[in-house]
Structure 1
Amino acid sequence: MKAAKKVELLAPAGNAEAFYGAIHAGADAIYLGGSRFGARAYAENFSEEELIACIRYAHLFQRKVYLTVNTLVKESEFSGLYEYVLPYYRAGLDGVIVQDMGVFAYLREHFPGMELHGSTQMTITGEYGAAFLKEQGACRVVPARELSLAEIRKIKEVTGLEIECFIHGAMCYCYSGQCLFSSILGGRSGNRGRCAQPCRLPYTTGKHPKECYPLSLKDMCTIEYIPELLEAGIDSFKIEGRMKKPEYAAGVTAIYRKYIDRYYADSKAPQKISAADMHTLSCLYIRSERQDGYYHKHNGGEMVTLDSPAYSGSDETLLQNIRKKHLEHRLTIPVSMQAEFLTGETAKLYLWTGESAVTVEGNVVEEASRQPITQENIAKQLGKLGDSHFHLEDSLGIRVSDNAFYPLKAINELRRKGLALLEEQVILANGFPYERTSEKAPTLADDGDFRKNDSIKSQKSDEKWAITIRTPEQWQGFCGSSFWKDPVRTAGQLRLYLDADFLLQDPSAAEKILRSLTEKEIQSVIALPKILRLRDGQYLEKLRKLLLENLAYINGFQAANMEHIALLKQWNFTGKEIYGDHSLYLWNRTSRDFWKAFLDGYCLPLELNAAEQRDILDPAFPAEKVIYGRIPMMVTANCVQKTTDRCQPQENPKALDLIDRYHKRFPVQRNCTHCFNVIYNSVPLSLHKELCKWSGLVTRRLDFTTENETETLEVLEYFAGTRKELPYGEYTTGHEKRGVE
């Protein structure tokens, strides 16, 4: 299938110099960040004045600008969002790339007419999540970088959404939006644009005792696959690199522009990439060797820079050439002018370019008492176009009376006014808004004092618990615990999250488990796999069949992402509740209120501190809080086992350990059913000392991940109050006190 319209080449810009360089090199659109809310907090980024100037410049030359508002936003910051976006919206900003659904809903309401794009940080992995995003008003989605071309085609066919995909640059090892590694270890959150890149550090494993870099992916380069990517229906080719130098943005853009144009000139001609162009790409900040991403493979050791994550050296001569060609000059538009300075009449200046034309008038031209103006005076002043985006196409046509006087300062003002009006007309003629109108800033609703009321307490019998069970061993541990044996304690007060994979291992046993929970008045909730992909079709059919057969014993489902939300909506199990996991981020009241329409309860986020979590509580929307469990640091398509040893899909996928420089062991749980890894923290989160502060406010949740039967039982007995000694030594309180920047 040939592409229906020309693809957009989308380039990064970390500063104004990179922006202009990428435009001059042929980018159709630029994505960039302002001073706040962007996922590259350490890029130079743009001041308000710079960014508005860039929007105007882009629109003059029929290019687009997308603003990255692709971080999670705290409640304390949310009030600044309107004033931040407003000047760019007024200036005609083309679109905003968003992660936070609270931000998404807010921008949709208050900035109509501006495109909203779903960031890759939303972890959209298939048609369900993309369709959900479209229903909310998105016109474009940036799906997970791990998707194959077949999956991208499927999303396009089902939803009709514009698809924006990365084609070049650095690759994250984790599904974007699912990484807490940097956040938990050092407080620098990837969800806040402050990632410290622990994936680029050395580790050892049991099978690979020599120090290596198993989490460091090679950089992507797809220049050889342009025809295939175009014919897959991708709408926008995205180059990664807002943290990189302007020479990178311009140089990479220029080469992709060359081969995209060559395809459109003759799509049947073989696309042979010259050695010189491959050398150029290799010299522009490529980490180790190149690879072509996930478009043709699911994972593999050949994608990883096991030996070194360092960038290869750049060619200084090459950088100078790029600078000279793309960075040292600005584009200008040819303009023609005629002027009239006739005594007794208003001064007139006519300007035109292409289909656009304007006329400006000044004051009345007077008779000169001493020195009259001349054609040379006028031409000199009107010809000063150095700071504008125009150049004079031919000689000025000037009519001037013999004894006319007009101040030179006023001639300059006439020129400035005319060029400004012509610029506006050109932008409008190009199909862009020059200046949007907007309403008065909205006021944010006040939720009252509920969040601040630390004195709210509850009797022990009113304390609610949630427990996550993933394995048969953990189920046995649970059955031996007081939570199971004391029906008075748990009746109506306990929610059990049962991993769907665990239940499908033995459907007959699953029925017995679900029936027994109903008899015990324990709420049974099915936790869907963390990542669902196109290849999970048969799995989902089996799961749906199991669920239908046992629907009477199932109270609800846990949704970890938008894919889950939309899938459950399609399944339409009437009367069943849906609880959002902590990875379905609710960081502010606006996102909380957005998700309230789709969920019956939610889990407080792991990266906010206690005060920030309290700030989003709502008595009408039940919250739960993880008080025990290993935090998932990464969810990955690549497999540490396969990279460092070999694929073992038929063997028991027990966790292996990643061992860092400080000898900390991070369990890597392999999910071979869906072919993804979950890398857990080296120690469990434990908030046993904080329990009383949350009494009556939340459901307390215990997550079991890598624990065996005995460990599960010991932890449950401790939190049940029947065991006094803490069953584990080291633990972390996560972000309970510090939070993230």
Structure 2
Amino acid sequence: MSELLAPAGNMEALIAAVSNGANAIYLGMNRFGARAYANNFSFEELEEAIHYCHLRNVKIYVTMNTIVFDNELEDAYKQIDILYNLGVDGLIIQDLAIFSYVVENYPLLEAHTSTQMGIDDKEGTLLLKELGAKRVVLSREVPIEKIKEIKKECKIPLEIFVHGALCVSYSGGCYMSGLIGYRSGNRGRCVGSCRKPYELINTTQNESLGTSYILSMKDLKTLENINELKVADSLKVEGRMKEPVYVANIIKTYRDALDGKLLKGEEFNLTKTFNRTFTKGYIFHEDKKNIANIDKPNNYGYLIGYVSGKKNGYYEITLSMPVTQGDIIRIDHLGIDVNLSLTKIFDANENLISKADKKFYIQIKEKLFTSDKVYKTKDILFTEELEKSYPKEYKRFPLHITVYGNPNEPLTIIAECEGKTVSYTTDYKLDKALSRPTDYNSFLKQLSKLNDSIYSLASLEFNAYDIFLPVGKINDLRRIIVNLMDNERLSKRTPVLKKEIPFEKIDFKQEKNISVFCTTEEQYKACKDLGIDIIYYNNYIRRNEVTYKDMDGEVLVGGYGGIYHYRGKNKITSDFTMNVVNYKSVYILHKLGINRVCLSLEINKNQIDDLVNDYYKNIGGYPNLEMIVYGHSLMMFTHYCPLKVKGQCGKCRENKYILKDEFGEFPIINHKDCTTTILNGKTLNLMDELDSIPYINTYRIQLTIEDYDESVKIINTLKNKLNGDTTKTFNKELETRGHFNKEIL
């Protein structure tokens, strides 16, 4: 049976999930989790959560799925130590340094690869399995057929997302929030840049295709395909930022579906809590033109009627579904929402009413038109029903009790539950019954009162005769035996003596090189004409949606699958999309056979110094580092095509497009396989900063939208810089230094 994995941003949401049938919970702490804006858990709250869940056979996984800088590693390691001792079942991890620390020190603490790692093929899955992963969380873009193939060939537990918000970018591969607002998704602080409006412009034709929420994905809903999803070991619901009633609703609906108990029509309940409308997702081959809701980025609700007229200052609403006083509605007036809490609703005679089935009337100051559509965004009765669903016991555990006792002897009570056995013997002796003895039925009545516990009395064996015991003492025995069983089920972790694994010395000669990434043939020609030795063009294997092919010479790989496929065959450089920001990750990649490691776009000068110093101190040498010093930075790589939703499918062959907002313009590169790259409109330029990063061996130029002449000029400028030219090149109007001088949040 597949695990149903629920999100919890706080203790109330956790209880709501467990009460409605979740098998496991994932949550974050106050640091190192990819939802920094959720309430999250303190260590004290986590201990309470673990006790609550483990008593009910529910597992807890903690997210530590951000990138971690060198000056944070010790704190991260200390947090892992505490999480292990508290009894956490597993960690969901992005950073290789964190991953290796868990695998090396805590075999009982499962290391799960976060979707932030971008694993979407069997090669990446096999590499992480080899490195010690106990579960791989696949990217949301992986289709069901490929999930089945990975499961069959890799033989490792798989986790997939089945419901909730979708990122437009591959997780871990979006730099938009960080580049626009210095708040990185890879640090858990995504500001939701994809939920903002953008204008799509055909720059070839100088034509605006309108402003919309063109990057805002609908919410994933796979309920209709629940049986096919059971190939995965864990079915994950997104929503650590959502309120407890949302969690209760989604978990209850999917639990009933998994158990074959979902009644006809109950699927509609999913629309009664937060939704952006729904898509079956790429997992079930959703058409790219249908996967985004370009009209509205937040709670859509569900249609319940329309404005049908106005009388005596009251707007008339004709209903297709009933409303109740206390509901919240939104009225779509020319694309602008009028949100209203129904504190007062009226009938046709202007009398206050508490509910309506066919029509009702409201007084509001906003102007509405006849035929404006009306949506319900909160159903007060349904919300109250959900709130009543927790806290409660989704299931109770059978308690088998045996009682032994004779007059003038202590009483012994033994309890067994799911293979655990506890016993208690009184410190007093039983009295002989003078008239009416305390019998089987007396014990049965009191020991059955287990509603304030997780147990139900499954059987009672009574071996006591001619005794008397007051009801109060029987109740005391019940409480004692329940506490003993609880403690037995909450067995403590055995302390682990952490291993001191010696580092292998991996040292590279310090030298200065230029590398150039090319997107077009004319850029490649410019590199060849200027004698560039390190060129990434046809030898580039991107992070996601890869077809591996045999190649000669050096290969630039963007993801873990590329490392698995090409190691031992080719000289490999790992790309910036590996999100490397600390010395331990560099070391691990070098050990895997990576010759050159390109650092993350999200690392600054001081953090580079820390990385190099820590590498030298711990490894005894220097790493072989590459860094992008010029080019339009990647905002995101996405399976989605923003052109298709605007009816421009295929027109990318003749036209170029950009997205535009109040901050600037973002060029779009459309690939032959209908995937999309979105770039920062401002060019990253660190050519004036080379002296401050002396331990970077290879300075990379990232060519994307430049023509031949521009490419030649850029390459020659960097060459001159390395030959001692001190002329300043930075243009503050058109260029950016990215995160180089500012720590990303």
TM range (shorter): 0.7 to 0.9
- The alpha-carbon deviation at position 158 of structure 1 amounts to 1.7
**How many angstroms apart in 2 are the aligned matches of 1:93 and 1:648?**
50
**How many angstroms apart in 2 are the aligned matches of 1:235 and 1:184?**
36
- The alpha-carbon deviation at position 308 of structure 1 amounts to 1.2
The aligned residue for residue 300 of structure 1 is 288
Whether the 8 Å CA contact 1:106–1:590 is kept in 2: the answer is no
Change (3 A) 1:172 1:399: same
- The alpha-carbon deviation at position 333 of structure 1 amounts to 4.1
From 730, 733, 736, the equivalent of 2:740 is: 736
Whether the 8 Å CA contact 2:65–2:95 is kept in 1: the answer is yes
Change (3 A) 1:411 1:346: farther
**How many angstroms apart in 2 are the aligned matches of 1:90 and 1:344?**
45
The aligned residue for residue 506 of structure 1 is none
How do residues 486-525 of structure 1 correspond to structure 2 at under 5 angstroms?
Answer: 495-500=533-538
The aligned residue for residue 357 of structure 1 is 421
**How many angstroms apart in 1 are the aligned matches of 2:445 and 2:41?**
34
From 403, 427, 437, the equivalent of 2:494 is: 437
How do residues 162-201 of structure 1 correspond to structure 2 at under 5 angstroms?
Answer: 162-201=157-196
**Which is further off, 94-103 or 168-177?**
94-103
**How many angstroms apart in 2 are the aligned matches of 1:565 and 1:354?**
45
**How many angstroms apart in 2 are the aligned matches of 1:143 and 1:577?**
27
How do residues 692-703 of structure 1 correspond to structure 2 at under 5 angstroms?
Answer: 692-703=691-702
**How many angstroms apart in 1 are the aligned matches of 2:396 and 2:445?**
19
Confirm whether residue 326 of structure 1 aligns to residue 390 of structure 2.
yes
From 518, 521, 539, the equivalent of 1:469 is: 518
The aligned residue for residue 236 of structure 1 is 234
**How many angstroms apart in 2 are the aligned matches of 1:118 and 1:388?**
35
Change (3 A) 1:398 1:38: farther
Q: Which amino acid aligns with 2:264?
A: S
Change (3 A) 1:62 1:649: farther
**Which is further off, 215-224 or 394-403?**
394-403
Q: Deviations over 1:399-442 (max 9, x none)?
A: 8999999x99x996x877643431244x3xxxxx8322122456
Change (3 A) 1:87 1:393: farther
Q: Which amino acid aligns with 1:638?
A: Y
Of Structure 1 and Structure 2, the greater helix share is in 1
Q: Which amino acid aligns with 2:254?
A: Y
Change (3 A) 1:579 1:304: same
**How many angstroms apart in 2 are the aligned matches of 1:655 and 1:435?**
61
The aligned residue for residue 216 of structure 2 is 216
- The alpha-carbon deviation at position 390 of structure 1 amounts to 4.3
Change (3 A) 1:648 1:438: same
The aligned residue for residue 658 of structure 2 is 657
Q: Which amino acid aligns with 1:470?
A: T
Whether the 8 Å CA contact 1:499–1:529 is kept in 2: the answer is no
**How many angstroms apart in 2 are the aligned matches of 1:357 and 1:661?**
66
Give the secondary-structure state (helix, strand or coil) at the position aligned to 1:27.
coil
Q: Deviations over 1:108-144 (max 9, x none)?
A: 1111123222111111121111111111122321111
**How many angstroms apart in 1 are the aligned matches of 2:77 and 2:717?**
47
Q: Deviations over 1:578-623 (max 9, x none)?
A: 1111111222222222112121120122212211122112443211
From 613, 620, 644, the equivalent of 2:622 is: 620
TM-score (norm 1): 0.78
Give the secondary-structure state (helix, strand or coil) at the position aligned to 1:326.
coil
**How many angstroms apart in 2 are the aligned matches of 1:330 and 1:336?**
20
Q: Deviations over 1:370-390 (max 9, x none)?
A: xxxx99x99999999787544
Unaligned runs of 5+ in 2: 203-207, 301-376, 432-437, 616-620
- The alpha-carbon deviation at position 666 of structure 1 amounts to 0.3
- The alpha-carbon deviation at position 196 of structure 1 amounts to 0.3
Confirm whether residue 151 of structure 1 aligns to residue 164 of structure 2.
no
Whether the 8 Å CA contact 2:122–2:154 is kept in 1: the answer is yes
**How many angstroms apart in 1 are the aligned matches of 2:628 and 2:12?**
45
From 104, 109, 112, the equivalent of 1:109 is: 104
Give the secondary-structure state (helix, strand or coil) at the position aligned to 1:80.
helix
Q: Which amino acid aligns with 2:168?
A: Y
Give the secondary-structure state (helix, strand or coil) at the position aligned to 1:683.
strand
Change (3 A) 1:404 1:238: closer
**How many angstroms apart in 2 are the aligned matches of 1:317 and 1:713?**
67
Give the secondary-structure state (helix, strand or coil) at the position aligned to 1:249.
helix
Change (3 A) 1:732 1:84: same
- The alpha-carbon deviation at position 361 of structure 1 amounts to 4.4
**How many angstroms apart in 2 are the aligned matches of 1:380 and 1:148?**
55
From 302, 310, 316, the equivalent of 2:380 is: 316
Whether the 8 Å CA contact 1:625–1:699 is kept in 2: the answer is yes
**How many angstroms apart in 1 are the aligned matches of 2:181 and 2:160?**
30
Cα-Cα RMSD: 3.7
- The alpha-carbon deviation at position 157 of structure 1 amounts to 2.1
From 630, 633, 636, the equivalent of 1:631 is: 633
How do residues 660-699 of structure 1 correspond to structure 2 at under 5 angstroms?
Answer: 660-662=661-663, 664-672=664-672, 674-699=673-698
**How many angstroms apart in 1 are the aligned matches of 2:459 and 2:387?**
29
Give the secondary-structure state (helix, strand or coil) at the position aligned to 1:718.
helix
How do residues 70-81 of structure 1 correspond to structure 2 at under 5 angstroms?
Answer: 70-81=65-76
From 123, 126, 132, the equivalent of 1:128 is: 123
**How many angstroms apart in 1 are the aligned matches of 2:418 and 2:134?**
31
- The alpha-carbon deviation at position 30 of structure 1 amounts to 1.8
Q: Deviations over 1:8-37 (max 9, x none)?
A: 222211112211211221122222223322
Give the secondary-structure state (helix, strand or coil) at the position aligned to 1:66.
strand
From 541, 546, 559, the equivalent of 1:528 is: 541
The aligned residue for residue 573 of structure 2 is 579
Q: Deviations over 1:334-368 (max 9, x none)?
A: 6466778999977755434465431134656799x
The aligned residue for residue 268 of structure 1 is none
Whether the 8 Å CA contact 1:96–1:115 is kept in 2: the answer is yes
TM-score (norm 2): 0.78
**How many angstroms apart in 2 are the aligned matches of 1:354 and 1:148?**
38
The aligned residue for residue 284 of structure 1 is 273
Q: Which amino acid aligns with 1:319?
A: T
Q: Deviations over 1:677-698 (max 9, x none)?
A: 1111110111123211123543
Change (3 A) 1:179 1:436: same
**How many angstroms apart in 2 are the aligned matches of 1:361 and 1:701?**
75
Give the secondary-structure state (helix, strand or coil) at the position aligned to 2:210.
coil
Whether the 8 Å CA contact 2:652–2:670 is kept in 1: the answer is no
**How many angstroms apart in 1 are the aligned matches of 2:176 and 2:736?**
14
The aligned residue for residue 371 of structure 1 is none
Whether the 8 Å CA contact 2:27–2:61 is kept in 1: the answer is yes
Whether the 8 Å CA contact 2:393–2:454 is kept in 1: the answer is no
Give the secondary-structure state (helix, strand or coil) at the position aligned to 1:630.
strand
Change (3 A) 1:223 1:659: same
**How many angstroms apart in 2 are the aligned matches of 1:38 and 1:9?**
21
Q: Which amino acid aligns with 2:186?
A: N
Q: Which amino acid aligns with 2:716?
A: E
Q: Which amino acid aligns with 2:692?
A: K
Change (3 A) 1:273 1:121: farther
- The alpha-carbon deviation at position 667 of structure 1 amounts to 0.6
Unaligned runs of 5+ in 1: 1-5, 264-271, 368-373, 428-432, 451-455, 485-493, 501-525
The aligned residue for residue 252 of structure 1 is 250
- The alpha-carbon deviation at position 445 of structure 1 amounts to 8.6
Give the secondary-structure state (helix, strand or coil) at the position aligned to 1:156.
helix
**How many angstroms apart in 1 are the aligned matches of 2:451 and 2:111?**
36
How do residues 554-593 of structure 1 correspond to structure 2 at under 5 angstroms?
Answer: 554=553, 556-569=554-567, 572-573=568-569, 576-593=570-587
Confirm whether residue 274 of structure 1 aligns to residue 268 of structure 2.
no
Change (3 A) 1:714 1:256: same
Q: How many residues align?
A: 643
The aligned residue for residue 618 of structure 2 is none
Q: Percent identity?
A: 30
